[in-house]
Structure 1
Amino acid sequence: MSKSLYPKIKPIKQEFLPVSEHHEIYVEQSGNPDGIAVLYLHGGPGGGSSENHRRYFDPERYHIILIDQRGCGRSNPSPNLSENTTWDLVQDIEKVREHLSIQQWLVAGGSWGTTLALAYGISHPDRVLAFILRGIFLGTEQEFQWLYSHQGAARFFPEYYRDFISVLPIEDRLDPLQGYYKMLTCENEVAVIAASKAWALWELRLSSTEHHHVGMSQVSDTHQAICMAKISSHYFVNQCYFSPEYLLEEISKIKHLPAIIIHGRYDMVCQLDLADKLMNRWQNAHLQIMPSAGHSGFEKQTIDAFCKATDSMAKFLSEVSKNK
């Protein structure tokens, strides 16, 4: 039987945690404070957390922690690119763990959240119980080319890609990633908003196999679009602040940890072959390919797979805890 999201719940605590002289991040807790601690990492970079992310987890079994990553969502200041790198975010995650006095936790995430989860795990393997990862993104040049060049996803969605590059000056259309970054960091507020919404629309159109005829009316939250576009382009022009193939090369540091990897067969944002490549280097990882799903974390097959994964992981971790 297919599973749906768990019922809506309210946080039991919401706070802002100072993580640097210039940044404080939004942290919320829900579910069972005595349950299995789980951190869910949102996508983007810059996407922000959603109340529906809580609903992947059984609130009776899990102590659910969500954050808005530095510079986006409800974190302050937002949007903001200063002191904002992968390694700043990794340090922020560890500060949240220490602040909440959590010894170890399950780390889960989707899309860019998988990138950050892997980077955190590689840096702090002794603090991770296991992983649940949906839509693998490794921050490689292959992925940047797929998303933003004329030779990747554009070949499947040529009409959407024309819309995507149409906001750029003609001279910037051969390198849209650099062109967008230049526009998104300029002083022209009107241009920044237009570029942000076009960026968000391109990704939204690539993300779901269930929702068609997606238009600009679906990009209604200007703040969210600006956070997503500015911060994503900032990370991607800087190759996510790590060397090419870094996550694959360092996977040996976490290969002893169990992981459930969920990936849609028709994911047009994150490429399935990289999830397969990761699984083949990770002896305790299991890859589940959803036969009709795309990239979105809230398609029916994805919800079913993710919620079943959290249920099975809760049972597994409880057994491990009993046997210690």
Structure 2
Amino acid sequence: MRELYPLIEPYQEGKLQVSELHTIHFEESGNPQGKPIVLLHGGPGGGCPPFYRQYFNPKKWRLVMFDQRGCGQSTPHAELRENTTWDLVNDIEKIRENLGIEKWFVFGGSWGSTLSLAYSQTHPERCTGLILRGIFMLRQKELRWFYQEGASYIFPDAWEAYLKPIPTDERDDMLTAYYQRLTNPDPEVRLTVARAWSVWEASTSKLFPDTALMQNFGESEFAEAFARIECHYFINKGFLKSDDQLLANVDRIRHIPAVIVQGRYDVVCPMISAWELHRAWQEAEFIVVSDAGHSMSEPGIRSALIEATDRFGE
């Protein structure tokens, strides 16, 4: 099992105004002369905690991380306006150009894998490789599984807490019921459902439930951005042109070196999505971690990701 690299500090941090409304916080760490790689965090709305830097050999990689619109240290906080998949794809390009990087690797897990696919399929000429984890292609069957019926059968105890803020007569469409409350002008209403939404995801993210993760996801500032932005994207079907857009456009990236890492017991992003991507894109290396769920911090997934960054870093 590979362990994390020691925690390092960024050698550069900055703000980039990407629209009249939004300003993005970004950082660079590792080796300024190393191979450029951009990390696309999950959620949407999750932000970049410092430990993400520890998945990359700091002597080999020039790591770029940024908080996507509305979350982390980007502003305005929890903002839904001008916040779509394609706004984020454009932001990635603006960051690349601002840093003077011609091409780079792309690393993303969960929603970060969705955004990695959207970005690389839009700008394949800018991608030297892809490292994807916990595949999520934002299809309706994936959303129904986690937010309506499916994961509820495996975590019925945590599901009760997710149902609790929603009246019984609205539970046939949980996404809509949550969206109405997450966009309510009353901050108390928003915060109550934001915590329930976020803790539901934290409760199901690991093979062995992690109470510290649940507590972190329930923190008010994190929960509001995470829940509001996720639900905003999901109610709008990811702003994709079709349900299978990311799967249908694999031909655009087939030539790019790639590895897909998937936990077999991932309940948040079930393995069927990774399997279908693998079947459509057999040129990409496919790694199934037999004793893991969704989280990138689970030992087997952590190890597979670090092995991948090491190989590509050479």
For this structure pair, what is the TM-score category when the shorter chain's length is used for normalisation? Answer: over 0.9
The aligned counterpart of 2:131 is 132
For 2:208 and 2:231, the matched residues in 1 are separated by 27
The aligned counterpart of 2:246 is 247
Q: Secondary structure at the match of 1:118?
A: helix
The aligned counterpart of 1:91 is 90
Q: Secondary structure at the match of 1:28?
A: strand
Say if 1:40 and 1:109, in contact at 8 Å, map to a contact too: yes
Say if 1:256 and 1:283, in contact at 8 Å, map to a contact too: no
When residues 214 and 51 of structure 1 are mapped into structure 2, their CA distance, relative to the original with a 3 A threshold, is closer
Q: Tell me the amino acid that sits aligned with residue 108 of structure 1.
A: F
1:169 to partner: Cα distance: 2.2
For 1:35 and 1:253, the matched residues in 2 are separated by 27
Q: Secondary structure at the match of 1:106?
A: strand
1:213 to partner: Cα distance: 5.5
Give 5+ residue unaligned stretches, structure 2.
none
Taking structure 2 as the reference length, the TM-score comes to 0.97
1:221 to partner: Cα distance: 2.4
Instruction: Decide which moves more: 283-292 or 230-239.
Output: 283-292
Say if 2:203 and 2:214, in contact at 8 Å, map to a contact too: no
For 1:228 and 1:238, the matched residues in 2 are separated by 16
Mapping of residues 280-295 of structure 1, within 5 Å: 280-295=279-294
Q: Secondary structure at the match of 1:199?
A: helix
For 2:81 and 2:260, the matched residues in 1 are separated by 32
1:217 to partner: Cα distance: 3.8
Q: Secondary structure at the match of 1:234?
A: helix
> Does residue 199 of structure 1 match 2:185?
no
For 2:210 and 2:131, the matched residues in 1 are separated by 28
User: Which 4+ stretches in 1 moved above 4 angstroms?
Assistant: 212-216
Q: Tell me the amino acid that sits aligned with residue 195 of structure 1.
A: V
> Does residue 236 of structure 1 match 2:212?
no
Aligned residues between the structures: 313
Taking structure 1 as the reference length, the TM-score comes to 0.94
1:211 to partner: Cα distance: 3.1
Say if 1:204 and 1:214, in contact at 8 Å, map to a contact too: no
1:187 to partner: Cα distance: 1.1
Q: Tell me the amino acid that sits aligned with residue 102 of structure 1.
A: I
Mapping of residues 157-168 of structure 1, within 5 Å: 157-168=155-166
Q: Tell me the amino acid that sits aligned with residue 86 of structure 2.
A: W
Mapping of residues 118-129 of structure 1, within 5 Å: 118-129=117-128
Q: Secondary structure at the match of 1:52?
A: helix
The aligned counterpart of 2:43 is 44
The aligned counterpart of 2:265 is 266
Q: Tell me the amino acid that sits aligned with residue 64 of structure 2.
A: I
The aligned counterpart of 2:184 is 186
For 1:278 and 1:115, the matched residues in 2 are separated by 11
For 1:201 and 1:21, the matched residues in 2 are separated by 33
The aligned counterpart of 2:60 is 61
Q: Percent identity?
A: 42
Q: Tell me the amino acid that sits aligned with residue 123 of structure 2.
A: H
The aligned counterpart of 2:12 is 13
Give 5+ residue unaligned stretches, structure 1.
316-324
The aligned counterpart of 1:322 is none
Q: Secondary structure at the match of 2:38?
A: strand
Say if 1:109 and 1:117, in contact at 8 Å, map to a contact too: yes
